Chains A and B, each alone.
Chain A
Amino acid sequence: MLYLGRAPGPALAARVQAACRAVEQVLGADLIDLVPSYTSVLIIYDPLRSDHWSVLRRVRRALRQMGDAQCSDSVRTVVLPVYYAPEAGADLEALAARAGLSVQQVIDLHSATSYRVYAIGFAPGFAYLGPVDERIAAPRLATPRPRVPRGAVAIADRQTAVYPAVSPGGWNLIGRCPTRMFDPHAEPIMPVGVGDEVRFEPIDRERFLALGGEL
């Protein structure tokens, strides 16, 4: 496990990305898989081809060479349309009431921010985005829902995400995104990758349905 810093943020996200590339290069075929996340990269190597010490030595060298310079990569921005409404996000009104804001203010705050993709996991295509404006941050539901619909846009603490498939979940639902977040038959399979920037664009019901959204 490689830790690259303590406080998650755009600078660290860029460093995590750069470290992934450097580790891939230096380990080559000894590498089985990588899991980038907020502040860390899990390196899974083939223990029959290499060992702990060789991997450690090579990764240290790669990180030294990486320095700080490579962290200023240009970032791709992906815009995801969202239909924000109580009929599309069951917790939208409750979240607004809890925050002492109007529904429109919640929508404005959620769609005004550019988010970073910090990690992908939990389920195929589930991208952890953040940070959410403090005013609309909300704790997970006490009892998770057994069935969250595909495309549900949700908030948990200062994170936000789009559910890529129907699944159980305890995040606060505020809207629905018609874009498929994970489609094994599409190219690319996912519209976003770790390190990308994501912005949400409010759309109305008609546009949502026209884009293939389902209620």
Chain B
Amino acid sequence: MRVVHPGLLSLLQDSGRRGQHRIGLTTGGPLDRAAFDCCNRLLDNPAGSSAVEISFGGLQLEAQVDTFFCVTGARMPVLLDGREVPRWEVHPVAAGQRIALAFADGGCRAYLGVADGFDVPPSFGSSATVVREGIGGLRGEALRADDVLPCTAVRQRRRLYLPPPQQPRYQNTTTVRLIPGFQQRHFSRPQQRRFFSHPYTVSERCDRMGYRLEGPAIECALDGILSEGICFGAVQIPPDGQPIVLLNDRQTIGGYPKIGSALSLDASRMAQLTPGGTVHFAPISPRAAHRALHLAHRFAAHQRLPERGA
């Protein structure tokens, strides 16, 4: 696939880098894990196959081989040679045809995968692009015009689709369940009540590293802590009291106190919000968090994907 136009921010991603935190490398990987996984399932690809994450839209590709593709995630109209085709569905594409994604009007991250995935050599065990580190993807950078994304010709693939009632509806508001963290006791009861009872707004400073939110300031009894590891979804409270939800490209260690950690499923959904979006936090116990995670995975694994024309 040749990149005709890269759009605002299009990145090759697989399921992310594991086991490299000790040399300071972050995880990377798809912000909306559920949409990314569904893309590979529809294409009958091995889980975690490399796909392109398109933020906001504008990507245009030209096929150089006959294969199949699928777009999941944010509501970005998909045009195949100028004709709109449904998202969440596998389509054949012939060499010379163009795939174009318009700009999103619901959610902001979409995933474009091809049959058998993009064949990108891994760096540090993963193809995930982390621009801040200059690692992964084709050159450790976002896609550029005239890049060629390696993929093989595929002649047959079932044309699976996700029925519309099962497709996520992206609204610019979401509830993020929060697992209390080890520093929660340094936030007084009134501060915690304030955090859980007021909506927060997604600020302009939201990217793959983290989402900075705006709302009632939260005070912490600690000024700072000795730098320590930061997990996916950690909610840091810097001195200005405005929460930051840390995501895939987060720094691996940091010294701000944390009120807790967002359930990964919800942090992933939050990453579909655009500036101005609303986040409500709700506390959840580790036991309930485990249950929610297992339920979501079982649901996704057993989801029936019908075949077009079958």
Identify the A interface with B (CB < 8 A): 1, 3, 8, 32-42, 44, 47-48, 51-52, 119-126, 128, 164-165, 182, 184, 189-190, 193-194
Q: Which of B132, B134, B229 contacts A35 (CB 8 A)?
A: B229
The answer for the CA separation of A3 and B231 in the assembled complex, in Å, is: 15
In the bound complex, residues from chain B placing their C-beta under 8 Å from that of A34 are: 21-22, 229
Is A48 a contact of B22 with CB atoms below 8 Å? no
Sample of 19 more A-B contacts, CB < 8 Å, known A123-B132, A126-B24, A165-B134: A8-B226, A32-B18, A33-B21, A35-B21, A37-B227, A40-B226, A42-B228, A42-B229, A121-B24, A121-B251, A122-B24, A122-B251, A122-B252, A123-B133, A123-B251, A124-B23, A124-B25, A124-B135, A184-B124
Is A42 a contact of B230 with CB atoms below 8 Å? yes
The answer for the CA separation of A104 and B26 in the assembled complex, in Å, is: 38
Assess A48 versus B21: contact at CB under 8 Å? Given A121-B227, A121-B252. no
The answer for the CA separation of A125 and B21 in the assembled complex, in Å, is: 10
How many whole Å from B266's CB to the nearest CB in chain A? 14
**Which of B66-74, B192-200, B268-276, B286-294 contacts its partner?**
B286-294
Q: Which among B23, B132, B287 has the highest number of chain A CB atoms within 10 Å?
A: B23
Residue B164 CB within 8 A of the other chain? no
Assess A51 versus B226: contact at CB under 8 Å? Given A32-B19, A35-B253, A122-B253. no
In the bound complex, residues from chain B placing their C-beta under 8 Å from that of A184 are: 123-124, 135
Is B18 a contact of A33 with CB atoms below 8 Å? yes
Main SS class of interface, A: loop
The answer for the CA separation of A194 and B22 in the assembled complex, in Å, is: 8
The answer for the CA separation of A193 and B23 in the assembled complex, in Å, is: 8
Is B19 a contact of A119 with CB atoms below 8 Å? no
26 CB < 8 A contacts A-B:
A33-B22, A35-B228, A35-B253, A37-B228, A37-B229, A38-B226, A38-B227, A39-B226, A40-B226, A42-B21, A44-B229, A44-B231, A48-B293, A51-B290, A120-B24, A121-B21, A121-B24, A121-B253, A122-B252, A123-B132, A124-B133, A125-B23, A125-B24, A128-B227, A165-B134, A194-B22
In the bound complex, residues from chain A placing their C-beta under 8 Å from that of B135 are: 124, 184
The answer for the CA separation of A118 and B24 in the assembled complex, in Å, is: 12
Assess A120 versus B22: contact at CB under 8 Å? Given A1-B228, A37-B226. yes
How many whole Å from B28's CB to the nearest CB in chain A? 12
Assess A40 versus B24: contact at CB under 8 Å? Given A33-B19, A48-B297, A121-B253. no
Is A42 a contact of B227 with CB atoms below 8 Å? no
Within 8 A of A (CB), among B202-239: 226-231
The answer for the CA separation of A51 and B289 in the assembled complex, in Å, is: 10
How many whole Å from B61's CB to the nearest CB in chain A? 28
The answer for the CA separation of A125 and B253 in the assembled complex, in Å, is: 12
In the bound complex, residues from chain A placing their C-beta under 8 Å from that of B297 are: 48
Q: Closest chain A residue to B226 by CB distance? A: A38
Assess A190 versus B21: contact at CB under 8 Å? Given A1-B182, A42-B229. no
